[in-house]
Structure 1
Amino acid sequence: MAVNAMVIRGAQPMLLDTLATVHRDIYLEEAFKIVEPEDVRWLFLSHEDRDHSGAIMQVLEKCPNAKLITSFLGLGKLSEEFVVPLDRVHLMNDGDSLDIGDRVVTALRPPLFDSSATAGLWDPNTEVYFAADCFGTVCEKAPQYTDELSDTDYEEGFFWMNRVNHIWFEHIPKDVIGAAADRIKALDSKLIVSGHGPVERKDTARMCERIKRVAGMKPVHLPSQVEFEAMLGSASTA
């Protein structure tokens, strides 16, 4: 499963997510090849999960001019583990916009999410939507773009990931998830970047239509203890 972060280069550079704790060193090395730490003005955190927040304190330390973008709920969740300087926090709720010098970015919650503090980010200059965990997929190899996989291989991992990771989907009316997907579809973005999958670069509308299909699917069966022990036994035999 891919774990992705982004950098917006511009008048007020912004980092989007910081990968997992185990990726911390490589993240800091690669991010600061793209932008100088002193130039970073914003760190947008899609949600507090450790595979997205693994280096936020290191970024704040290395980037003295940066503010952390989260929500009030996200700040509360982060404060269970981190001491975040409150004067370096900028709160954004779903639908809020922020002028970052040469563009105005908007926080837009994706159709499916696994944390109640989740926000995606829309950058109208590059026409890129960063979707947090939504639109992710799991596959044997992690290509950069969705079109590098066959539809069959891509959709198998896509529908599994978007049911397992957003397990509440089965309790929500189809039209509610559909409306949330249409909201992102209406952006007519050039790219949809998931935090956990290859980038959609050719047909972002189709990606949104796929999310609508999740609403009509059955939940994924996950192993019980008995099944888990059988899996371990099979692995040992192999």
Structure 2
Amino acid sequence: MGFAPHLPIRLDPREIAPDTFLLRSAQPALGAPLSVSLNSLVIRGEEPVVVDTSTVANRDAWLEDLTSLVDPADVRWIFISHDDEDHTGNLAQVLELCPAATVVMSWALTERSACSVAVPPERLRWVDPGGRLDVGDRTLLAIRPPVYDSPTTRALYDPTTGVLWASDTFATPMPAEPVDDVAEIPPPMWAEGFAMFHHHALAPWLSMVDHDAYAAEVRALRALDAEVVVAAHTPAITGPSVATAFDHLAALPRTVPPPHPDQAALEAALAGAP
């Protein structure tokens, strides 16, 4: 007997700041009572922005949620944070659905994703880390976060609302029953899951970084004074949890993560499967 495919758990979009919405789902973990956020973002400003396009597995629900928040004809920008398939899974569909939209990438991201989604060159805007994007009523800042699993990764900061989209940074598992905010995760579980995800699933090079150089990158990101931190694989980080999240991030190079599940864990999960 094997595991039945786990489709993402659909969660309602959540407004995390004025006219700024998380499009949310969650993926049940294999053989563990955990789930993992699968988020993207919509900024419904003067020139609406879609930030990442979720997964193929979540396509129908994600497109329904997107079009419930914004008229596709009004979308002017599609910001892709990096080239992993859980961030680009519905890009081709959004390109067709939003004919006035320009895709915000970088040269490297364009090259790396060309074999899966070929964006017409006339619909591209290249923005590198440190670059700015004028979207009418606000100017967004592209940033390379301190932790990433693709060299093309750029976070996105909206100074109008204080919302930081951190791409994969701040990733953490949550309980099997998804939660809205990291404040709903028991603190020891958050700290342990944060370390495990970053060291094992996102940035195994963390143990090799220069501590001072890494600390400077975390300080630069913290200096934005984001009021809300959101990312693809974490519940929203708000209020006092923002400072705690940055403390966890700063500590990563010195943190010894828990072991990741191995073959024995997989076999045990398979043995217990219905």
Give the alignment's TM-score, normalised by structure 1.
0.94
| Structure-2 separation of matches of 1:209 and 1:68 | 33
Output one character per residue of 1:34-78: Cα deviation in whole Å (capped at 9) or x when no partner.
000000000000101001111011001000000111110000011
Residue in 2 aligned with 1:202?
239
Unpaired runs of 5+ residues, structure 2, are 1-35
Q: Which amino acid aligns with 2:206?
A: F
Whole-Å separation in 2 of the counterparts to 1:112 and 1:219 = 15
> Paired residue for 1:144?
180
Cα shift at 1:222:
4.5
The Cα of 1:219 is off from its aligned counterpart by 5.8
Show the counterpart of 1:211. Answer: 249
- How many residue pairs get aligned? The number is 234
Q: Is 1:234 aligned with 2:268?
A: yes
Would the alpha carbon gap of residues 220 and 176 (structure 1) be closer, same or farther in structure 2, given more than 3 Å must change? farther
In structure 2, give the amino acid aligned to 1:131. A
Is structure 2 residue 199 aligned with structure 1 residue 155?
no
CA–CA distance in 2 between the matches of 1:82 and 1:160? Answer: 31
Calculate percent identity across the aligned residue pairs. Answer: 33
Alignment of 1:87-166 (within 5 A): 87-141=122-176, 142-164=178-200, 165-166=202-203
| Corresponding residue SS for 1:110 | coil
In structure 2, distance between residues paired with 1:133 and 1:99: 24
Verify the 8 A CA contact 2:192 2:257 in the aligned structure 1: no
CA contact (8 A) 2:195 2:257 kept: no
Give matches, 1:1-238, under 5 Å.
Answer: 1-141=36-176, 142-164=178-200, 165-203=202-240, 204-218=242-256, 221-222=259-260, 227-228=262-263, 230-238=264-272
Report the TM-score when normalising by structure 2: 0.82
Please give the secondary structure, in 2, of the residue aligned with 1:23.
helix
Q: Is the 8 A contact 1:181 1:209 kept in 2?
A: no
Q: Which runs of 5+ in 1 are unaligned?
A: none
State the alpha-carbon separation in 2 of the partners of residues 8 and 232 from structure 1: 40
Distance 1:167 1:139 in 2: 21
Compared CA separation, residues 237 and 61, structure 1 to 2 (3 A) = closer
| Equivalent residues of 1:167, 1:219 under 8 A apart | no
In 2, distance between residues paired with 1:151 and 1:218? 17
Amino acid at match of 1:172: V
Q: Does the 8 Å CA contact 1:188/1:205 hold for their aligned counterparts?
A: no
Q: Which moved more, 1:208-217 or 1:63-72?
A: 208-217
Of Structure 1 and Structure 2, the greater strand share is in 2
TM-aligned CA deviation for residue 235 of structure 1: 3.2
- 2:209, 2:114 → 1: CA distance? 30
